[in-house]
Each structure stands twice: as C-alpha cells, then as structure tokens.
Amino acid sequence: MSGQADISAPPGRAARTRPAPAVVLELLKPITWFPPMWAFMCGAVSSGAPLLERWYLVLAGILLAGPLVCGMSQAVNDWFDRHVDAINEPHRPIPSGRMPGRWGLYVAVCWTGVSLAWGGMLGLWGFLATLLGVALAWAYSAPPLRLKANGWWGNLACGLAYESLPWITAAAVLSAAAPSAEVLVIATLYGLGAHGIMTLNDFKAIEGDRRIGIRSLPVQLGPERAARVACWFMAVPQAVVVVLLLAMGAPVHAALVALLLAGQGWAMARMLTDPKKLAPWYNGTGVLQFVLGMLTCGFALRAGAGF
C-alpha cells in the first residue's frame, strides 16, 4: 500500500506544505500513551528499587514508553494505514490532508531516531528494549511483515509491546540487572491478555479493514466470535496470574486480582450481548480493572513474592 498515491487534501481546503504542531501531536495520539506508561510504572514498582531516589529514571522511562516509542508507533501505523483510514476515519491527520505530502513518514522516522537516542541514555537495557520496541512497531505496520494484516499475530505483537516490554524494561533499568523470572512470567501473561484488548479495539475499523484486506479477528471471525475470543485471551492469563500469586505466597494480592477478574467477567458478559456497540464501553470498564490487576501484581513482586 505504501506505493499508492498519497492522500491529497480535501476539495476546497488549501494545501499545506508542512503540518501544524498541533497536528503532529494529534498524529502521535497522546490518548494511546497510557498503557505502556502504566506498564512501565508497574515494572518500576515490581523492581523493588527505591523509586524516590531514582525518580529521574522512572520519569525518563515513562517518557520513553509513552510519548516517544508509543507515539512513534502511532505515526508509523497512521502512515501505512492512511488508505484504510480514508475509509474508516477520514478526519485523521493524514487522510484529512492536515498532515500533507509525506510528512507522516518523516515524523515516524524522526521520532524513531529520537526514541533510540533517548533509550540509549537509559543504559544497555534501556537501549536494547527500545530497539526491540521500535522493531515491533515497524514490523506491526510496515511491509513486508505488516503483522497487523493478521489479527492473531498483530495483536500479539501489540500486546507484548504495550504491556510486557515496558514492564520488563522498567524492572531491568531500575535494578540495573536482568529481570527476575517472576517479573518475566507475569509481565508476559499481561501482554498476552492485552491481545484481547487489541481485538476489541479493532471493532471500530471492521468495514475499512475488510475492504483493504486487513484480516483482523473481527473480520476473520465476525464480531460475536471475535469478542468471545478476546474475552478468553483477557481472562485466562489473569486466572493463571491468580494461581501464580497463590503459589508465590501472596494470597491477599491473589484475592484482589481475582476480584478484579470477576468484575471483568461481569463486564464481558454485558459486552457479549452486543459486541459492536459495547466494545468501546468495555474499554472504559473492564480494561480499567485489567490494569489495576497489573499494579497489584507489581506490589506483590515488590513485597518479595517469588516462586
């Protein structure tokens, strides 16, 4: 798709030679920065490091996870999705013409370089994690891999990059050592759970994805089956987390995660009655409980729970 002609400005709107700063910020989508920033914070908590003493590393990592790497991934995605966005969301910066010419690509490349430079300031662990995050972002959106073309692989890459990688990175950077096995396992489980969240996020683009040939799970399975698959992806890893917390000697934390999972179960049951309509509602209710469970696990690991 990158070889197709660029989306031009809508008729009657004067062409711009460069985007306004507000449009660049819109392309980076600040609303999407929360999940990786939250995951980094959970990783920082789980590291056991004195956070007040190392506040500068926490702040630098949160900026890396959100405005930089996540913002960069949004710019990359919007550039390579500009034709499907012209169908699904024509108001976005590139298809609307407010991000003229190839400026969307320029922003993506520039922000990639800034992210790598910033990650390098966090030491070897920070740079390697940033390199992996950047690689996943480009592989997700750009040919020839374009992982998002298949919802099974694309959502997996996205979930791991948004939840697992920032968590593991924070634990490594704050402790200046390889993360513990407990951190690796729990962070990975929450990344797998985020696969379901990404599936629900695809509901808003079903028509355009179908026309362009992106095989998201709602396109492949239909909204009802895709919603059920999403629920299983979200619920099973958290159930495993509850079992692991019990095995690690953290029954109070396990009970809290179980209660949050029960709340998600109620929200899932309601969402499944009309997935296309209620998927956005679930993102404001069930996902909140999902991320609170992440932080609960961070405190369990900080308290010294282990296998």
Mean pLDDT of 79-93: 91
Residue 10 domain-assigned?
no
Residues 184 and 174 in one domain: no
User: For 63-85, what is the mean pLDDT?
Assistant: 95
Confidence of residue 180 (pLDDT cuts 50, 70, 90): very high
The answer to whether the CB of 226 falls within 8 A of the CB of 275 is yes
pLDDT of residue 65: 97
9 domain residue, yes or no: no
Please determine, for residue 306, whether its predicted confidence score (pLDDT) is greater than 80: no
Query: Looking at residue 207, what is its pLDDT?
Result: 83
The answer as to whether 219 is a domain residue is yes
**Angle (CA) 250 252 254, round 5°:** 70
Eight-state DSSP code of residue 215: B
- Whether the CB-CB separation of 231 and 273 falls below 8 Å is answered with no
Rounded percentage of the chain residues whose pLDDT exceeds 70: 95
Cβ neighbour number for residue 206 with a 10 Å cutoff: 18
CATH number of the domain within which 146 lies: 1.10.357.140
Summarised one tens digit per residue, pLDDT across range 88-142 is: 889 999 999 999 999 999 999 999 999 999 999 999 999 999 999 999 999 999 9
pLDDT above 70: residue 13: no
The pLDDT value recorded for residue 16 is 65
> What integer pLDDT is reported at residue 212 of this predicted model?
85
Mean of the pLDDT values across residues 278-302? 95
Residues 196, 71, single domain; the answer is no
d(C-alpha 74, C-alpha 161), whole Å: 13
Question: Domain range spanning residue 153?
Answer: 18-178
Query: Counting Cβ atoms within 10 Å, is residue 242 exposed (0-12), middle (13-18) or buried (19+)?
Result: buried
- Whether the per-residue pLDDT at 204 is higher than 90: the answer is no
pLDDT bin (cut points 50, 70, 90) of residue 208 is confident
Q: Is 266's pLDDT higher than 80?
A: yes
The mean pLDDT value for 256-281 works out to 96
Q: Are residues 160 and 230 in the same domain?
A: no
Question: Is the pLDDT assigned to residue 9 strictly greater than 60?
Answer: no
Q: Which residue has the higher pLDDT, 76 or 13?
A: 76
Q: How many domains, in total, are found in the chain?
A: 2
| CA distances for 146 relative to 49, 115, 195, 281, 286, angstroms | 38, 21, 17, 29, 29
- Position 7 scores a pLDDT of 47
The pLDDT value recorded for residue 15 is: 56
User: How many angstroms separate the CA atoms of 4 and 172, rounded?
Assistant: 42
Count other Cβ atoms within 10 Å, centred on residue 53.
Answer: 8
pLDDT of residue 2: 40
pLDDT of 25 above 80: yes
Task: Output the pLDDT for position 84.
Answer: 85
Same domain, 229 and 154: no
Confidence class for position 211, pLDDT limits 50, 70, 90: confident
Shared-domain flag, residues 249 and 199 = yes
Quote the pTM value: 0.91
Residue range 171-192: mean pLDDT, rounded: 95
Are 160 and 224 in a shared domain?
no
Q: CA dist 183 to 53, 113, 176, Å?
A: 21, 29, 14
Q: Is residue 219 domain-shared with residue 283, that is, in the same domain?
A: yes
248 CA to centre of own chain:
28
Q: What letter would DSSP give residue 178?
A: P
Tell me the mean pLDDT in the region 164-173: 97
197 and 139 co-located in one domain? no
Mean pLDDT of 16-20: 85
